[in-house]
Structure 1
């Protein structure tokens, strides 16, 4: 399984994420089969989930309402659905590109 897979229902992608809250700075990196997302926000009262949705919306060029938490609301491992992304996040590999040598 890749860190991002096409959603079979429509023009959307399922993003598989591992979140690190309370980081020193926000960052996105692909680690294995998950997207590692570092957030400065603490995991209190859903604030980290809201910050995650906001960050992914900014990276994919969509509204926050286009990001849906599918699985893992109270876990570090989450799956989010991104509807009709306008652009690809800079520095992240596209799943249709061949792997580097």
Structure 2
């Protein structure tokens, strides 16, 4: 199944695969139907989840509070929601930025 971004009333959701304890924070391409993200944070005490939200928020130029892990809090496979309004063009910008990571 290919990588997809789902539109919800309050934002966009997509799947990620997190690799904690990496040498640097980076988007590392596609892993199955998910976006692979390498993080330097360890997978203990919610550190990797917090680092993941902060990293994605920085890349997408949105507040940290706009990025939420919807499911997969204790595993490597997660579903993320980026809260953004349908109007104003912000949603299109975020979709294009995410798809640029997929094709890179």
| TM bracket, shorter-chain basis | 0.7 to 0.9
CA–CA distance in structure 2, aligned partners of residues 27 and 51 of structure 1: 11
Q: Name the counterpart of 2:77.
A: 77
Matches within 5 A, 1:7-86: 7-10=7-10, 12-31=11-30, 32-84=32-84, 85=90
Question: Where has structure 1 moved over 4 Å in runs of 4 or more?
Answer: none
Any conservation in 2 of the 1:70–1:79 contact (CA below 8 Å)?
Answer: yes
Secondary structure of residue in 2 paired with 1:18: strand
Q: Tell whether the 8 Å contact from 1:14 to 1:80 is kept in structure 2 after alignment.
A: yes
Q: Where does structure 2 lack aligned partners over 5 or more consecutive residues?
A: 85-89
How many residue pairs get aligned? The number is 93
Does structure 2 retain, via aligned residues, the 8 Å contact 1:3–1:17?
Answer: no
Q: TM-score scaled to structure 1, two decimals?
A: 0.79
- Pick the structure with more helix per residue: 2
SS of the aligned residue for 1:7 comes to strand
Alignment match, 2:101: 92
